[in-house]
Structure 1
């Protein structure tokens, strides 16, 4: 298992290098000049040159890339062009907000998706199975931002059970944190729970028809032990692959759901950076988001290796 982790970590080095090259290259090819956005149309030629020199834009692209990469390796993602804010500090301040939303929505998606998939698989072709299948299809079809608006109108505006907007840090009040993150997490986790439910149902139906499941039942084992100890453990092997993709979807969807619930996470920071064409902020956000996705993929690879010994390197 240790060799699997080492192999995955070594594979991350060229991947992150390629991502850094593409990120820096694409942001450098933006049609507008950031100096024009900073100074405006009334600036003089001397002011333009002074700002370009201060920002390091007069240097060749390759030299600027390696300077940026050297600082990024040390944890310095640069400084914003517009408000002189340290990019690393700005991202780290918003990161706990987005991670809270993503982790809670992932927990909801896993619990709801696995439970619905098991119930549907235990009674295939019944009304329970058809209801779960229809619900999963609808859940995948509904946009998370539209579902978030419905939740706000129903549970925040009408019933006043949850706050409509804002985010409370866990350190300030765990209860208020849970109330503030519940609605956006449900809106975000709905589609992922539907995808997980469909995969669990398909995997469980196949596993329950295997000979070792029949042998376990013939030995007099309880239904709960057969389902959760033998069937579910083997059915989760293909589900982990879907889960790794859904974690990526949740991270991307969190950036949109944050706008619906007025949560100051990475999504708000990313939209502001794109509108201003704040190149250092965009580069830092893309790099951090890719690192989060890569870490999520690494975690799912480790879980997959624990569940499936055949996936471990010899």
Structure 2
């Protein structure tokens, strides 16, 4: 296991390096001078030269990239001040440190991710297991039919519809907003309840279908049938043998979903007017703000890579037949 983790960590570092290099050098293929974004409309040559110096844009591009990488580990000095490690640079648009900007947005993204995760895992796995346990009954058909319908929903469509009903028409719930958990736990819960419900509704469909099909497949395995032939109860074999084996495909899609959600659900945040990592990524692309874009790209890629490593490691924990070489 330790060799596997070390090997995957080194591979992850290489992938992050390639992503950062590709993004950095592709950005400078754009003919527009990044310093013009920070200079504004009434920009003079002297002011533009000062911005180039303050942001380190007066150096060759390879030197700028090296300074950027070294700043992540040891910090970096800019004309606007010192940037402590991990330093992802200074925004071209507002001269704010990129790392502090991302850390301000990250709690909202974490809240959206893990709040909806709890809901759709509980609902999806529960419905899938019940559908497999009572295969062919009305319960199975109900859950399967509901998952087919909800899987076609899109956040940008169902989100405004639900808000129109629960917020603007009836006033039962407040408009989605983010309140820090440490400041007001109840306000944090109520402010994100609608996004959690919408995201859980859409994701639950995938986990219901996956849990059902995987469990039905496991129930046909020889070791499960042998356990039943030895006189073990159907409930015992269901949870002791079949359930554990069915987790492999569920863990796979769960790792992908968590990595994607932690990277920032751009559509979700724009739909509900929330300012998280997804909204920050969108604003950095529109504003051509390279340091912010780079920071979001690297952090998002790190989330996805870490989730994939954890998923691969969990395979050996869940299924003894899987071994990490």
TM-score (norm 1): 0.90
Q: Which piece of structure 1 moves more, 38-47 or 87-96?
A: 38-47
Q: Which piece of structure 1 moves more, 137-146 or 89-98?
A: 137-146
- 8 Å Cα contact 2:24/2:294 also seen in 1: yes
Question: Could you report, residue by residue, the CA deviation over 1:229-277 in whole angstroms, capped at 9, with x for unpaired residues?
Answer: 2211111112211222222343456222122222221223223222222
- 8 Å Cα contact 1:80/1:278 also seen in 2: yes
- Unpaired segments ≥5 residues, structure 2: 74-84
Question: Could you report, residue by residue, the CA deviation over 1:113-136 in whole angstroms, capped at 9, with x for unpaired residues?
Answer: 211211222233444333333322
Matching residue of 1:50: 50
Matches within 5 A, 1:30-45: 30-45=30-45
Q: Which piece of structure 1 moves more, 105-114 or 280-289?
A: 105-114
Does residue 82 (structure 1) correspond to residue 58 (structure 2)? The answer is no
Matches within 5 A, 1:171-210: 171-210=182-221
Measured in 2, the distance between the counterparts of 1:264 and 1:216 equals 52
Measured in 1, the distance between the counterparts of 2:89 and 2:110 equals 22
- 8 Å Cα contact 1:102/1:251 also seen in 2: yes
Q: Which has the higher contact order (CA 8 A, sep 6+)?
A: 1
Matches within 5 A, 1:190-269: 190-251=201-262, 254-269=265-280
Does residue 146 (structure 1) correspond to residue 157 (structure 2)? The answer is yes
Q: Aligned-pair distance for 1:222?
A: 4.1
Measured in 2, the distance between the counterparts of 1:104 and 1:30 equals 39
3-state SS of paired residue (2:246): helix
Does residue 301 (structure 1) correspond to residue 312 (structure 2)? The answer is yes
3-state SS of paired residue (2:265): helix
Structure-2 change in CA distance of 1:46 and 1:176 (3 Å): closer
Measured in 2, the distance between the counterparts of 1:8 and 1:197 equals 31
Answer 1 or 2: which has greater helix percent: 1
Q: Aligned-pair distance for 1:62?
A: 0.9
- 8 Å Cα contact 1:118/1:204 also seen in 2: yes
Measured in 2, the distance between the counterparts of 1:138 and 1:30 equals 44
One of 103, 111, 114 as aligned partner of 2:122? 111
Question: Could you report, residue by residue, the CA deviation over 1:19-73 in whole angstroms, capped at 9, with x for unpaired residues?
Answer: 1112212222234222333334543333333322332222111111111011123
Q: Which piece of structure 1 moves more, 207-216 or 176-185?
A: 207-216
TM-score (norm 2): 0.88
Matching residue of 1:272: 283
Q: Which piece of structure 1 moves more, 264-273 or 109-118?
A: 264-273
- 8 Å Cα contact 1:34/1:277 also seen in 2: yes
Does residue 102 (structure 1) correspond to residue 122 (structure 2)? The answer is no
Question: Could you report, residue by residue, the CA deviation over 1:284-305 in whole angstroms, capped at 9, with x for unpaired residues?
Answer: 1111111111222222222222
- 8 Å Cα contact 2:260/2:304 also seen in 1: no
Matching residue of 1:60: 60
RMSD of Structure 2 on Structure 1 (CA)? 2.2
